[in-house]
């Protein structure tokens, strides 16, 4: 029998719109996480704080909330000298989100980039496709053990790592995979491209070919560019699409970083984002439950 996460795919294919969650780094830093510290370690040391963040997003209207495991691969955790705790921190992260989830809601296991370049691009010891798949599979298996309903492969910047993560998730367990990439807006060319020059249409095709069930974008400049990116993806596929952009660009004043868009300003672009063909919408850096509450109101206004 297939897991509950497949209900997400069925629901959006039937025309339903779903709400994802918002930023985690934003919330963790507000709770006291220090720059340079490991966010995933908080699944152990500050479990109550992490659980409250999940609950805050569910209470705000999220149908799907992700785990605090964005940097939870062994390759990434090795930077903090805790790679041997990979399984533990991912299982704990999944269980915290699961415990906060209402019966009708879903938990997505967050899988972010390793911060290690592939062999083709690295100036030092690059990572082979086999190494990527092994580290992502280890994380995916731990997240599945902890009870996630689906995976969120997110903020990927180059194709080898993104497709390796998708393949690893599919090899680990029979759960659906959402896969999103980070796009930069090139003002001079008035276009959105990955760091390695891929267009939104090319990204949609390559992620789907690797086995993703939902594709899209996250992070980036803000919802204004998300509209264009999703429209381009919708032009080449009828697969489910997801977008959770940043709350605009970061604004740095001294040691303080804020973002351009408050909840109301951000939500104004979401009717157009849904019109562009997006099925699942949320937010990323700079957002919090107040942003998700306003986005959820936009989505609810579209429901028949």
Query: What beta strand segments (E) does 132-268 contain?
Result: 150-156, 177-181, 184-186, 191-193, 214-219, 241-245, 250-253, 256-259
Please list the ranges in the chain whose pLDDT falls under 70: 1, 122-124, 304
User: Considering just the CA atoms, what is the radius of gyration of the chain in Å?
Assistant: 18
Q: What are phi and psi of 165, to 5 degrees?
A: -65, -40
Q: Tell me, what's the pLDDT at 291? A: 98
Q: Was domain 5-302 assigned CATH 2.60.40.1180?
A: no
Do residues 210 and 156 lie in contact, with contact meaning Cβ atoms separated by under 8 Å?
no
Strand partners for 235: none
Nearest residue to 181 (alpha-carbon basis) of 214, 148, 138: 214
Q: Tell me, what's the pLDDT at 191? A: 97
Q: Token pair of 139, please?
A: 């994380």
Report d(CA 27, CA 24) in Å as an integer.
5
Report d(CA 5, CA 106) in Å as an integer.
7
The DSSP-derived string for 34-45 is PTTS-GGGHHHH
Q: Tell me, what's the pLDDT at 81? A: 97
Q: Tell me, what's the pLDDT at 1? A: 60
Q: Tell me, what's the pLDDT at 105? A: 98
Q: Tell me, what's the pLDDT at 304? A: 54
CB-facing half-sphere around the CA of 221: CA atoms within 13 A:
16
Q: Token pair of 157, please?
A: 């910047």
Q: Tell me, what's the pLDDT at 256? A: 80
Structural domain spans, the chain: 5-302
């Amino acid at each position: 029998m297939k897991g509950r996460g497949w209900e997400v795919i069925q629901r959006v294919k039937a025309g339903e719109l779903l709400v994802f969650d918002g930023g985690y780094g934003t919330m963790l830093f507000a709770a006291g996480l220090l720059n340079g510290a490991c966010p995933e370690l908080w699944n152990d040391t500050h479990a109550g704080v992490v659980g409250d963040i999940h609950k805050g997003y569910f209470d705000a209207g999220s149908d799907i909330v992700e785990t605090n495991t964005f940097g939870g691969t062994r390759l990434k955790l090795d930077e903090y000298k805790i790679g041997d705790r990979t399984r533990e921190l991912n299982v704990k992260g999944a269980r915290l989100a699961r415990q906060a989830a209402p019966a009708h809601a879903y938990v997505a296991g967050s899988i972010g980039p390793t911060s290690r370049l592939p062999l083709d691009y690295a100036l030092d010891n690059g990572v082979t496709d086999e190494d990527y798949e092994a580290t992502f599979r280890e994380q995916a298996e731990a997240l599945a053990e902890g009870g996630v309903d689906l995976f969120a492969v997110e903020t990927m910047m180059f194709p080898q790592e993104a497709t390796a993560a998708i393949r690893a998730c599919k090899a680990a367990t029979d759960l659906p995979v959402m896969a999103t990439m980070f796009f930069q807006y090139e003002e001079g060319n008035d276009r959105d491209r990955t760091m390695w020059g891929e267009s939104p249409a090319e990204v949609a095709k390559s992620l789907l070919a690797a086995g993703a069930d939902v594709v899209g974008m996250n992070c980036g400049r803000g919802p204004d560019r998300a509209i264009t990116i999703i429209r381009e993806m919708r032009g080449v596929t009828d697969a489910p699409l997801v977008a959770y952009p940043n709350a605009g660009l970061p604004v740095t004043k001294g040691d303080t970083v804020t973002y351009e868009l408050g909840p109301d300003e951000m939500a104004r672009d979401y009717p157009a984002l849904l019109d562009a063909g997006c099925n699942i919408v949320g937010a990323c850096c700079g957002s919090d439950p107040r942003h998700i509450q306003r986005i959820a109101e936009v989505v609810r206004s579209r429901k028949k």
